[in-house]
Amino acid sequence: MTNLSVNINKVATLRNARGENNPDVQKFAEDCESLGADGITIHPRPDERHIRRDDVFLLRPLVKTEFNIEGYPTPEFMDLVLKVKPEQVTLVPDAPDALTSSAGWDVEANMEFLTGIVDRLREAGIRSSIFVAPDPDVIRAAARTGTDRVELYTKPFADTYPSDPVGAVAPYIEASRAAHTCGLGVNAGHDLSLANLRYFHEQVPYLNEVSIGHAIISDALYMGLPETIKAYKACLGR
């Protein structure tokens, strides 16, 4: 079974545009869960341009499924997640001012750093996931850090899928098999949508979770949130 984690950053972006509490980020997370989402993902950034630090603490007691916090593991980020203790922390290599995640880790070059972070998360009872390109060598390196999972960066798949679906998904099939062989769980995210998710899910083995935000919020503007979550779960055979 592949779980659907809804990234609610865009909801916080909309709220922050007016400076009030509409839409209510906490209620939106609860509604996503009640409608069938298997988890809630957030990516707090240092400038708090969407999810704010206080949102993280407010969401923790409300999220009853899986709480996944993404981010670059600065001292401030680590202090936050070790206090909040989500079920999963996804480590991404973003610069503080990055608009969105745009590449996976160079794990070999950051081996000592990532291993130390993974060790701290494990000691706190938090599952770790490292954001990576669909490269078996990088995945094997990630396994040496002791991480629990990898998250495959799927923008290259989404970009190529319309013209060459078989070629687009091939590296992800190989990457997921490599991760499974290494004993790692497999997550995926970035630019997955109703246009490509079903095919990705059907083709990629051992897929534990997909994290989707921008496309879900965009589709919900037209379809409504209940029908949108239902449609995404249908793509996952749920």
Give the residue-averaged pLDDT of 171-177: 98
Pairwise CA distance, residues 212 & 90, whole Å: 14
pTM for this prediction: 0.95
Q: What is the pLDDT of residue 103?
A: 83
Helices 225-235, 25-34: axis angle to 10 degrees equals 50
**Which of 33, 50, 190, 209 is an active site residue?**
190
């989404």: which residue's tokens? Answer: 158
Check residue 100 and give its pLDDT: 59
Q: Is 43 a catalytic residue?
A: yes
CA–CA gap between residue 43 and residue 6 (Å, rounded): 11
pLDDT band at 238 (very low <50, low <70, confident <90, very high): confident
Farthest CA pair distance, the chain: 48
pLDDT at 97: 59
Please name the residue ranges forming H helices in 185-224: 197-203, 214-223
Residues 6+ apart with CB under 8 A from 40: 5, 6, 8, 29, 32, 33, 59, 63, 65, 66, 67, 68
Task: Give the three-class secondary structure for 149.
Answer: strand
Active-site annotation holds for 48? no
Q: Does residue 116 surpass a pLDDT of 60?
A: yes
Q: Check residue 44 and report its DSSP letter.
A: -
DSSP secondary structure string for all residues of 63-130: --SEEEEEE---HHHHHHHHHH--SEEEE----TT-SS------TGGGHHHHHHHHHHHHHTT-EEEE
Whether 209 is a known active-site residue: answer no
CA distances, 153 to each of 25, 41, 157, 162, 203 (Å): 26, 15, 8, 17, 16
Please give the pLDDT value at position 196: 98
pLDDT per position as a tens digit, 176-207: 999 999 999 999 999 999 999 999 999 999 99
pLDDT at 94 over 90: no
Catalytic residue among 33, 66, 70, 151: 70
Tokens of 172: 């992800």
Backbone angles phi, psi at 132, to 5 degrees: -140, 160
Which of 43, 50, 66, 209 is an active site residue? Answer: 43
122-138 pLDDT, tens per residue?
Answer: 999 999 999 999 999 99
User: Among candidates 66, 59, 61, which has minimal Cα distance to 44?
Assistant: 59
